[in-house]
């Protein structure tokens, strides 16, 4: 297809570089410098999608970030699919593939349109709330339907092959927006010696100047901009970021910039290049020079393809050399839009009429239009549009001075394009991100930024300043102010010569009346992307939604990916009118980050795959890998879970590991347990305050198990602490709890008891820890250690000794988490692998068996030892655990948890208490988390007594065992409880002591 709407000359496109692209499966041509939108318009493509609710055909409306309709799916391959790309912001490249994101089977002929027509009345605002809420069980069905119908684009199904990154930046002044105001602010600040970053979402700096026909300093505006850009580019302390959207303005002048580095080159970034980058900028001062978006007017059938915003039409003509139609009708409330009629007429195509809502408009541009012989219809408005897939004509009626009624006869004009302008809305989005509420300004008929706590300045269109000479002056002023606030001597930038255009007063009009009441008039769209109409807003207010925030949510106005950039102000004005209030009284909703959609890739940057979260490995990890370990994640640690031999199931491996340990000797890599070195003359006192048991008399060379509670009396961690010297201890914590315990110790030390002299150091990674456990562990150790007396009476249970193991200095702790004779050997981590391998060299004859966390869990459960975080959940006291032996109430200091434990709620008899559970059927293993009841036949909801916290098959006992909490369980020994399961089975279990094996503890004392 030829580019029938392309001009022979003019614009900033390069006609010598033709590009081919595919839209909806069909090939088109465009030029370098085109956006996808301008190329589609050049080729006469009218329909770029179907609307969300009514499935009406929609065309391109705008030329920038505010575009609501031309939201495309881009990507030539599955891996490079990108949803929600605004065709107006995507630069064209050769081979680009895109398609409309909604419409089935195609946007051109849509099946849903039939439903839209019939169902239009059936889909009022709040439709989804009213229709799809009940019954809840049907939601999944509704959701599929809604998603398919809504056509919001799709994510790729395979991994993104591109690389993204984040970059931290610091600067004196961040200028947001590279238009006239932004360029002047950046130049002035930079000339004053400030370190400046200037970012603009477009490929070229210049903003509005790129499509303007004004002159600055005697030159075309775009040429003037190019000179300023050249000067900035040469300054060493200026960073220029084109194709970079400042998407978020966060606390303390932290801004995020989304830079698209290769999206304009190809589908996939060239080898070795970063596709997109997120700049995380901490700026001393920010200058917002974000400009303004033109508002379309709201009138009947204003969504028929061919209806556009006036300024966008000028942009397509002047910047891209594309006239998006043949016969134009322009409707305006202001002088500025007359330029569009002049631009159109200059292309040689027909301007049917300019329809001005004002009765007697006066201004230079109006005179110029009249001089060209273009018909100007005053005091009138386009009240309705004809045409289905493209505008074919309009109905124009005269209106009263307030713009509330159609007063005279309606005439028909034939045309294919309707450009409208209802004035301009400052782009206050970033200012809103800081918590600042915009303020209505009657003079400029728009919201401007309100007061802010940020170090923020504004210049140009964002202030409602639109005359070019004033915009440039505000840019200079902001640049100077930023410089002087930074303590720099502000440079004085000479303002270039700009001709002032004489303009008349604009009219505050948003919603064009119709001969029929709004509810019966043709649809008048406010928010194109979410199909919100003026009638819908009226209905919402009639249904009682009077707060603008409620109207927004009920109608879904501004909920699309465009965040209502185009329609929100019109919607607020309509709400105000219906409620008989002023716009400032009605107020405005505010905008949140991000300004435009951002890819997950740019947010994540390098923090994916291996770098998503650190992985921690013990010194013996390589051995575990070579010996076929299956791993489990514990915190960030990769811990061996079990070590299956060829052909073994998990249960077979566990049975073998458990039996071997109890019969001979097993070995566990316990390096991941948290280890905190504690020193200082008050270390012992400190331990007494943070543990529930007594520490005053623990002698050098001795170890003790301790429980830690929070102030509420609930257990939060446990472990063994050993006395290394009179003022020196080493504490062990759970693997996952280590960092939290250290922070908690520091908290109490620094804020409550700074007078105690005590120091904490994490030494978790310094030591490799291996536990040998089982009746042959002493024999094995004795083969590798000759400087510690291992005799049972000299190296007793809960003692530790310093010595040499396998030729390496070691601390050996005789502590046990299995109930067997056990030694925990600690060596400097670098020696870990050496000692581990030596143990296996000598252990072969004892069938030394490596085991992982699962066997560790089973062996300790056989002994009724708890695991903090598994058998406790922050609601369990030591008494609930049956561990009152580990609570000392004779300590002089009221240790943490003591007072909490005697709160009224903590001494109730019917608290959930930890007990052992023996299923009646010894082969039945209870699922962890299963809920106990007394009567499994009672009606649902059943009265629940507590849940299973740990449950295993015990090979040593030849039966299933479990730990669990039961209300008042300590007094119910021998009674039965029932566990009704999701699959319909009910498992009966007997409440028993949690110690299933060796209740007297003889095995560890041999």
Partner 1 sequence: MFYIYCPHCREHREEEEFHAKGQAHIARPADPDNCTDEEWGNYVFFRKNPRGLHHELWYHSTGCRKFFNVTRDTVSYEIKEVYKIGEQPQVVAKG
Q: Which residues of the chain form contacts with partner 1 (CB under 8 A)?
A: 250-254, 282, 435, 453, 711-712, 743, 746-747, 750-752, 754, 894, 898-900, 903-904
Residue 783 class from Cβ within 10 Å (0-12 exposed, 13-18 middle, 19+ buried)?
middle
How open is the CA angle 868-873-875, to the nearest 5 degrees? 120
Minimum Å gap between C-beta 256 and partner 1 is: 9
Q: Report whether 570 contacts 419 (CB < 8 A).
A: no
Distance CA 711, CA 56 (A): 62
At what angle are helices 832-843 and 777-784 packed, to 10 degrees? 120
Q: How far is the CB of 254 from partner 1 (least distance, A)?
A: 5
CA distance 634 to 670: 12
Query: In terms of CB distance, is 154 or 606 closer to partner 1?
Result: 606
Cβ closer to partner 1: 253 or 301? 253
Least distance (Å) between residue 250 CB and partner 1: 6
Burial of 616 by CB count in 10 Å (0-12 exposed, 13-18 middle, 19+ buried)?
A: middle
Burial 396-420 (b: 16+ CB within 10 A, else e): bbbbeeebeebeeeeeebebbbbbb
Which H or E run includes 338? helix 338-346
CB of 760 to partner 1, least distance (A): 9
838 burial level (CB within 10 Å; 0-12, 13-18, 19+): middle
The vertex-297 CA angle with 211 and 389, nearest 5°, equals 85
**CB 873 to partner 1: min, Å:** 18
The bridge status of strand 307-309 relative to strand 417-421 is parallel
Nearer to partner 1 by Cβ, of 280 and 550: the residue is: 280
User: Quick check: 253 and 282 in contact, CB under 8 A?
Assistant: yes
3-state secondary structure of 572: helix
* Structure token digits, residue 717: 């961690």
- List, in order, residues 6 or more apart from 146 with CB less than 8 Å away: 128, 132
For the CB of residue 877, give the shortest distance to partner 1 in the complex, in Å: 14
Cα–Cα distance measured from residue 437 to residue 735, given in angstroms and rounded to the nearest whole number: 48
| Distance of alpha carbon 669 from alpha carbon 660, whole angstroms | 16
User: Of 580 and 754, which CB lies nearer to partner 1 in the complex structure?
Assistant: 754
Nearer to partner 1 among residue 141 and residue 894 (C-beta): 894
**Which residue, 447, 427, 596, is CA-closest to 65?**
596
Question: Between 633 and 743, whose beta carbon lies closer to partner 1?
Answer: 743
Rounded to a whole number of angstroms, the minimum distance from the CB of residue 604 to partner 1 is: 15
Smallest gap from residue 893 Cβ to partner 1 (A): 10
Between 754 and 984, CB nearer to partner 1 = 754
Q: How far from 571 is each of 55, 122, 384, 402, 453, CA to CA, in Å?
A: 21, 22, 19, 18, 29
Residue 890 C-beta: closest distance to partner 1, Å: 12
Residue 182 CB, nearest approach to partner 1 (Å): 24
Tokens read off for 732: 């062990």
CB 107 within 8 A of CB 57: yes
Residues with Cβ within 8 Å of 568's Cβ and at least 6 positions away in sequence, in order, are 425, 527, 557, 558, 588, 589
Rounded to a whole number of angstroms, the minimum distance from the CB of residue 249 to partner 1 is: 11
Of the candidates 853, 869, 769, the residue with the CA atom closest to the CA atom of residue 818: 853
H helices within 457-514, ranges in order?
468-485
| Between 747 and 1006, CB nearer to partner 1 | 747
Q: Minimum distance from CB of 748 to partner 1 (Å)?
A: 9
309-342 burial, b if ≥16 CB within 10 A, otherwise e? Answer: bbbbbbbbbbbbbbbbbebbbbbbbbbbbbbbbb
Output 477 or 749, the one with its CB closest to partner 1: 749
CB of 614 to partner 1, least distance (A): 12
At its nearest, how many Å lie between partner 1 and the CB of residue 717?
Answer: 18
CA–CA gap between residue 131 and residue 482 (Å, rounded)? 54
**Burial profile 175-188: b = 16 or more Cβ within 10 angstroms, e = fewer:** bbbbbbbbbbbbbb
Report, in Å, the least distance between residue 606 CB and partner 1: 15
> Min. distance of Cβ 808 from partner 1 in angstroms?
31
Least distance (Å) between residue 909 CB and partner 1 = 18
Could you tell me the smallest distance in angstroms from the CB atom of residue 30 to partner 1? 41
Nearer to partner 1, 105 or 754 (CB): 754
Q: What are phi and psi of 115, to 5 degrees?
A: -65, -40
Contact 875, 663 (CB under 8 A): no
Strand, helix or coil at 286?
strand
Which lies closer to partner 1 via its Cβ, residue 117 or residue 903? Answer: 903
Total Cβ atoms within 10 A of residue 630: 14
Nearer to partner 1, 442 or 743 (CB): 743
Cα R_g (the chain), whole angstroms = 38
For tokens 């309009």, name the residue: 394
Closest alpha carbon to 844 in 785, 791, 783, 770: 783
Burial of 132 (0-12, 13-18, 19+ CB in 10 A): middle
């Amino acid at each position: 297809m030829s580019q029938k709407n392309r001009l022979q000359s003019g614009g900033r496109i390069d006609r010598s570089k033709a590009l081919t692209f595919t839209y909806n499966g069909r090939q088109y041509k465009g030029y370098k410098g085109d956006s996808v939108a301008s190329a589609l318009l050049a080729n006469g493509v009218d329909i770029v999608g179907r609307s969300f609710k009514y499935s009406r055909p929609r065309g391109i409306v705008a030329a920038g970030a505010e575009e609501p309709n031309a939201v495309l799916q881009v990507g030539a391959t599955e891996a490079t699919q990108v949803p929600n790309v605004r065709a107006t912001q995507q630069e064209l490249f050769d081979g680009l593939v895109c398609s409309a994101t909604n419409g089935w089977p195609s946007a051109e002929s849509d099946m849903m349109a039939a439903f839209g027509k019939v169902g239009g009345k059936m889909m009022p605002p709040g439709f989804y709330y009213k229709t799809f809420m009940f019954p809840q069980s049907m939601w999944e069905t509704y959701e599929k339907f809604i998603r398919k119908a809504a056509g919001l684009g799709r994510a790729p199904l395979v991994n993104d092959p591109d690389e993204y990154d984040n970059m931290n930046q610091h600067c004196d002044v961040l200028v947001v927006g590279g238009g006239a105001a932004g360029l002047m602010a950046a130049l002035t600040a930079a000339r004053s010696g400030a370190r400046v970053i200037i970012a603009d979402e477009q490929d070229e700096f210049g903003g509005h100047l790129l499509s303007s026909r004004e002159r600055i300093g005697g030159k075309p505006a775009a040429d003037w901009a190019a000179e300023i850009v050249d000067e900035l580019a040469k300054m060493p302390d200026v960073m220029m970021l084109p194709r970079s959207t400042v998407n978020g303005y966060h606390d303390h002048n932290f801004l995020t910039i989304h830079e698209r580095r290769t999206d304009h080159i190809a589908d996939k970034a060239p080898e070795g290049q970063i596709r997109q980058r997120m700049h995380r900028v901490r700026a001393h001062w920010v200058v917002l020079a974000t400009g303004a978006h033109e508002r379309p007017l709201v009138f009947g059938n204003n969504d028929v393809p061919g209806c556009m915003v006036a300024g966008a039409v000028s942009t397509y003509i002047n910047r891209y050399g594309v006239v998006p139609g043949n016969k134009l009708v322009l409707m305006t409330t202001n002088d500025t839009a007359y330029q569009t009629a002049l631009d159109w007429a200059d292309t040689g195509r027909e301007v049917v009429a300019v329809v001005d809502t004002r009765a007697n408009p006066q201004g230079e541009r109006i005179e110029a239009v009249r001089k060209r012989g273009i018909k100007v219809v005053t005091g009138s408005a386009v009240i309705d549009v004809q045409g289905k897939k493209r505008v074919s004509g309009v109905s124009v009626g005269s209106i009263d001075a307030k713009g509330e009624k159609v007063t005279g006869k309606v005439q028909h004009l034939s045309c294919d394009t309707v450009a409208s302008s209802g004035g301009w809305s400052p782009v206050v989005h970033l200012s809103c991100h800081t918590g600042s509420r915009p303020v209505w300004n009657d003079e400029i008929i728009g919201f401007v930024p309100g007061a802010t706590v940020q170090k923020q300045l504004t210049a140009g269109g964002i202030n409602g300043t639109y005359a070019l000479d004033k915009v440039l002056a505000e840019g200079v002023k902001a640049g100077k102010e930023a410089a002087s606030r930074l303590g720099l001597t502000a440079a004085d930038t000479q303002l270039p010569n700009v001709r002032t255009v004489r303009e008349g007063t604009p009219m505050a009009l948003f919603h064009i009346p119709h001969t029929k009441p709004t509810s019966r008039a043709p649809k008048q769209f406010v928010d194109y992307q979410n199909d919100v109409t003026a009638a819908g807003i009226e209905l919402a207010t009639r249904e009682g939604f009077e707060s603008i925030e409620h109207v927004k949510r009920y109608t879904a106005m501004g909920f699309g990916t465009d965040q209502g950039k185009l329609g929100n102000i019109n919607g607020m004005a309509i709400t105000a009118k219906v409620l008989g209030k002023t716009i400032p009284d009605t107020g405005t909703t505010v905008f949140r980050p991000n300004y435009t959609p951002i890819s997950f890739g740019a947010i994540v940057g390098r923090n994916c795959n291996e770098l998503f979260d650190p992985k921690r490995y013990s010194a013996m990890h390589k051995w575990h890998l070579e010996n076929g370990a299956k791993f489990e994640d514990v915190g960030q640690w990769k811990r061996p879970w079990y070590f299956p031999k060829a052909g073994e199931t998990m249960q077979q491996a566990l049975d073998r590991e458990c039996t071997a340990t109890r019969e001979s000797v097993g070995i566990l890599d316990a390096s991941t347990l948290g280890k905190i070195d504690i020193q200082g003359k008050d270390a012992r006192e400190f331990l007494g305050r943070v543990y529930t048991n007594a520490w005053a008399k623990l002698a050098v060379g001795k170890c003790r198990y301790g429980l830690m509670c929070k102030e509420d009396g609930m257990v939060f961690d446990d472990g063994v602490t050993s006395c290394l010297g009179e003022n020196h201890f080493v504490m062990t914590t759970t693997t996952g709890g280590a960092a939290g315990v250290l922070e908690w110790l520091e908290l109490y030390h620094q804020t409550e008891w700074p007078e105690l002299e005590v120091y904490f150091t994490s030494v978790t990674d310094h030591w490799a820890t291996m536990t040998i456990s089982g009746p042959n562990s002493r024999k094995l150790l004795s083969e590798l250690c000759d400087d510690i007396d291992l005799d049972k009476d000299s190296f007793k249970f809960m003692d530790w000794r310093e010595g040499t193991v396998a030729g390496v200095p070691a601390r050996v702790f005789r502590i046990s988490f299995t109930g067997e004779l056990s030694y925990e050997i600690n060596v400097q981590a670098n020696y870990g692998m050496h000692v581990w391998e030596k143990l296996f060299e000598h252990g072969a004859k004892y069938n030394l068996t490596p085991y992982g966390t699962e066997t560790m869990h089973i062996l300790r459960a056989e002994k009724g030892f708890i695991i903090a975080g598994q058998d406790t959940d922050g609601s369990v006291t030591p008494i609930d655990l049956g561990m009152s032996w580990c609570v000392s109430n004779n300590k002089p200091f009221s240790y943490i948890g003591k007072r909490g434990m005697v709160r009224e709620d903590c001494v109730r008899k019917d608290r959930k208490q930890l007990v052992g559970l023996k299923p009646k059927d010894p082969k039945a293993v209870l699922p962890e988390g299963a809920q106990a009841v007394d009567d499994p036949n009672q009606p649902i909801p059943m009265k629940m007594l507590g849940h299973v916290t740990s449950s295993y098959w015990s090979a040593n006992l030849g039966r299933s065992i479990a730990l669990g909490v039961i209300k008042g369980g300590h007094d119910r020994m021998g009674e039965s409880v029932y566990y009704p399961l999701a699959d319909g089975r009910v498992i009966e279990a007997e409440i028993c002591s949690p110690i299933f094996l060796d209740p007297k503890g003889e095995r560890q004392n041999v």
